[in-house]
Structure 1
Amino acid sequence: MAASGLFWWIAAGALVVMELITGTFYLLMIALGFIAGGLAHWAGASLAIELAVAALVALVAVIVLRRSRFGSWKRRDASRDAGVNLDIGETLQVNEWHEGHARAMYRGAEWDVELAPGETEGARWYQIMAMQGNRLVVTAKR
């Protein structure tokens, strides 16, 4: 099968299908290596050259992906990420505080509200900075 070169194309196709299942892009980079191996076979290279080309292209593609913004995932604090919690940045009114804690109406329900570190109880309107479980962490609206 390797003698006909069909191996490279079947393996590349299988890697692309597996990539569609996982969604990490790394298998796609390895599939590019297999495609390069298939092109080397089509150009008449020996098996050793085909393997070297496939490995080199896959390695370079994985390194480039790893250094790109798609390959380096940084963990973000979801409790403070407005892309995860759409309530972050919204405002609410707090009428009465008790040592940095309160209950306030927000979106038609009563929520536990807590002041962010360094904040005072003097304001009436507050902005949601984080959500910790069922508690809203707020700062005074400026």
Structure 2
Amino acid sequence: MADWMGWLVAAGLLVILELFTGTFYLLMIAIGLALGGIVALAGAGPSVQAIVAGIAGVLATGLLHRSRFGRRQRHDPSRDRNVNLDIGQRVTVPAWDNGRARVMYRGALWDVELGHGATPHAGDFRIVEVHGSRLVVANHL
């Protein structure tokens, strides 16, 4: 098998593997391998092929990492409404004991604690975070 075929077969295998991961990083390495195959087809030696493939793969991966597709949003799932539908819901606290309380919410007893800036008074509160079976609440607006 010719050198250029080996490079392109390796690139094709990485593209197939990329379909299972969905991150685009293997696709960037596959681009580098394809460029190595193109350089091999042009008649360059094995060392030049490897250098071009390596540089192209690293550059493509770096560009992807800096793009909007490579940046992962660092969301705290305990505060994200899309992850936990309890966030933003109303809960009624009858009494507080040192910034903590037990309330009935959705048919079960939950521990409740005050969030930053909330004042302890009996009444309605808004859920701002969920940590396991503990609700963190703020004053209801």
TM-score, length of structure 2 as denominator length: 0.81
Q: Secondary structure at the match of 2:117?
A: coil
CA distance in 2: counterparts of 1:2 and 1:15, whole angstroms: 19
Cα offset, 1:134, TM superposition: 0.6
1:71-86 aligned within 5 A: 71-73=70-72, 75-86=74-85
CA RMSD after TM alignment? 2.3
Q: Distance in 2 between matches of 1:66 and 1:101?
A: 43
Match of 2:132 in 1: 133
Runs (5+) with no aligned partner, structure 1 = none
Matches within 5 A, 1:46-125: 46-47=44-45, 48-73=47-72, 75-122=74-121, 124-125=123-124
Cα distance, 1:33 vs structure 2: 0.7
**C-alpha contact (below 8 Å) 1:123/1:141 kept by paired residues:** no
Once the two structures are superposed, what CA deviation does each residue of 1:18-68 show, in whole Å capped at 9, x if it has no partner? 3334443222110011122223334x2313443333222212101101212
- Equivalenced residues, count: 140
Corresponding position of 2:34 = 35
Q: Which amino acid aligns with 2:137?
A: V
- 2: CA distance, partners of 1:33 / 1:137: 49
> TM-score w.r.t. structure 1 length?
0.81
